[in-house]
Amino acid sequence: MKKKVLSIMLSLMVGSTCLVGCNNNSKPEEKPAVTEEKVSFDWSKQEFVKEVPLPDTDKTSIEEDDEDEFWVYINGDEEAFKAYVEKCKESGFTIDADEWEDELYDAYNENGTHISLSLDGTQYELSVKPSKARGVLTWPTAGVAAMLPTPESKVGSIAVDSSKQFVAFVGEMDREKFKAYMDECVAKGFNCDYDKGDDYFNGKNQNGDKLHLEYKETGEMDISLHCEGATEEEISSEEMETCDAEGVNPDFKATMDSYEAMINEYVEFMKKYEESSDPVSMMSDLNEYMTKYTETMTKLSEIDSSTLSEADAAYYLEVYGRITTKITEL
């Protein structure tokens, strides 16, 4: 990846004090107020980035700055990183937060804006992405989406709208609205083999079309509908188009997903092993899992995030954060 290095120069203005003399026969001129300018610098013109606090240094290198993502390197050691994480928390980035050993921090704020932070020696990376459930949501009246009830909210976006798949992100939701929408979907015919909870719904209609709903603490709802007859290749392709809008390399994503799946499998096995009344009988499996675990963590540690594209690096941090959080369950 050829990095775009953009130096942000600090503009420091020093107010001056104007001393005006006076005599007994003249009225003293009013002294101008002395102003002390605070150190500041332009970081990004994107509105969603303004929700993120500025660091205490202007020594930054901006890699990406557009409507889909802001990505920057910031000079700072571990103490500076920890201090900045605290500033982000104070700014509201505490929803669905993942944190690991003062090296990684990943969270949302109430607007659905997402940040990923990672420490790397004498600098740290910051990735900021706006909520996908933003903009004016115009619900389709034909096609796959017509099988679903129209959400009450008019805020959100549509990622995929094809003859066999529909993916949308809806904003300005709460749990009551989410529950009501689940009930509407059941009434619309998605009442076969369904499973639901406070923040999710999985179900089918009589044709075998699969619906997935997910509620997020940021007040957003994800909707994904796959029609019966859609091949895995078609679904993967369309989902990848959504992913590719963020630029993630398909091969890299598959690799990271395989690592995450292996770690999840390892953690579940270790839980069973620790609770087993006969751990000796599981020693063979334990050795196999320990080998796989060591190999996976070694491969992860060998990935040089500085050689990745902006989107791949952000996805790496996202998956790595989930993996480290999963391991803490042991």
In a shared domain, residues 150 and 215: yes
Instruction: Name the more confident of 270 and 241.
Output: 270
Average pLDDT for 214-227 = 89
**Domain termination site, one of 81, 100, 130:** 130
Average pLDDT for 248-259 = 78
**Domain termination site, one of 201, 228, 255:** 228
In a shared domain, residues 103 and 150: no
In-domain check, residue 196: yes
Q: Terminus-to-terminus CA distance in the chain, angstroms? A: 37
In-domain check, residue 137: no
In a shared domain, residues 86 and 5: yes
Strand partners, 71: 64, 127
Residue 36, token pair as written in the block: 């002390």
In a shared domain, residues 163 and 221: yes
Query: Which three-class secondary structure state does DSSP give residue 145?
Result: helix
In a shared domain, residues 126 and 3: yes
Q: So what's the pLDDT on residue 169?
A: 92
- Give the number of domains in the chain: 3
Instruction: Name the more confident of 226 and 241.
Output: 226
pLDDT grade, residue 255 (50/70/90)? Answer: confident
Q: So what's the pLDDT on residue 304?
A: 66
Asked if 219 and 174 count as a contact pair (C-beta separation under 8 A), the reply is: yes
Contacts of 224 (CB under 8 A, 6+ apart): 165, 166, 167, 211, 212, 213
Contacts of 286 (CB under 8 A, 6+ apart): 269, 273, 279
Asked if 53 and 115 count as a contact pair (C-beta separation under 8 A), the reply is: no
In a shared domain, residues 41 and 102: yes
Per-residue 3-state assignment (H helix, E strand, C coil) for 165-183 = EEEEEECCCCHHHHHHHHH
Output the pTM of the full model.
0.51
Q: So what's the pLDDT on residue 30?
A: 44
> H helices of 202-276, where?
232-244, 250-275
131-154 pLDDT, tens digit each: 888 789 999 988 888 999 999 999
In a shared domain, residues 170 and 51: no
Q: What helix, strand, coil percent values describe the chain, rounded to 5? A: 35, 25, 40
**Domain termination site, one of 165, 196, 228:** 228
In-domain check, residue 236: no
Average pLDDT for 59-65 = 88
In-domain check, residue 312: yes
In-domain check, residue 82: yes
Helix (H) or strand (E) holding 97: strand 95-100
In a shared domain, residues 87 and 168: no
In a shared domain, residues 47 and 119: yes
In-domain check, residue 53: yes
In a shared domain, residues 178 and 302: no
Full residue range of the structural domain in which residue 69 is found: 1-130
In a shared domain, residues 192 and 257: no
Over 80: is that where the pLDDT of 307 sits? no
Over 60: is that where the pLDDT of 38 sits? no
Over 80: is that where the pLDDT of 282 sits? yes
Give the β-pairing of 104-108 and 114-120: antiparallel
| Residue 1 per-residue DSSP state | -
165-200 pLDDT, tens digit each: 888 999 999 999 999 999 999 999 999 988 888 888
Helix (H) or strand (E) holding 160: strand 156-161
Q: So what's the pLDDT on residue 197?
A: 87
In-domain check, residue 242: no
Q: So what's the pLDDT on residue 19?
A: 30
In-domain check, residue 54: yes
Contacts of 275 (CB under 8 A, 6+ apart): none
In a shared domain, residues 6 and 126: yes
